[in-house]
Amino acid sequence: NAGVTQTPKFQVLKTGQSMTLQCAQDMNHEYMSWYRQDPGMGLRLIHYSVGAGITDQGEVPNGYNVSRSTTEDFPLRLLSAAPSQTSVYFCASSYSGSGGHYNEQFFGPGTRLTVL
């Protein structure tokens, strides 16, 4: 299993450009999430999904769109990048079961995004 994969690892954008951060998981997890991590802060939830076709907003959704057409993929779209979106982005997935490690969120390696 590759686990949770993210592409690209690094990206530099100019203000106003758009791009899509890719996330895929091969563990058949129902739940997938996007977080951003800024210096001195913990991870903050951007969007999440409880299954294909179902998404919802997290704590900091403005400026980001998501869709989930398959169980495996959960891309994050920046429609018009702003310097405030400079951050490290993590995708995560998890089971819906209960008990022990069934609760664990598996994280991808992250994408470091800089918006100039």
Which residues are at the interface with another protein (CB under 8 A)? 30-33, 35, 40-45, 48-50, 58-59, 88, 90, 92, 94-96, 98-101, 103-107, 109-110
81 vs 108, which CB is nearer to another protein? 108
3-state class of 108 per DSSP? coil
11 vs 17, which CB is nearer to another protein? 11
Residue type, 37: Q
Q: Determine phi and psi for 92, rounding to 5 degrees.
A: -145, 155
32 vs 78, which CB is nearer to another protein? 32
Q: How far is the CB of 8 from another protein (least distance, A)?
A: 14
Output DSSP code: residue 73: B
Q: How far is the CB of 13 from another protein (least distance, A)?
A: 20
Q: Determine phi and psi for 60, rounding to 5 degrees.
A: -130, 70
Which two three-digit tokens encode residue 22?
Answer: 């890719």
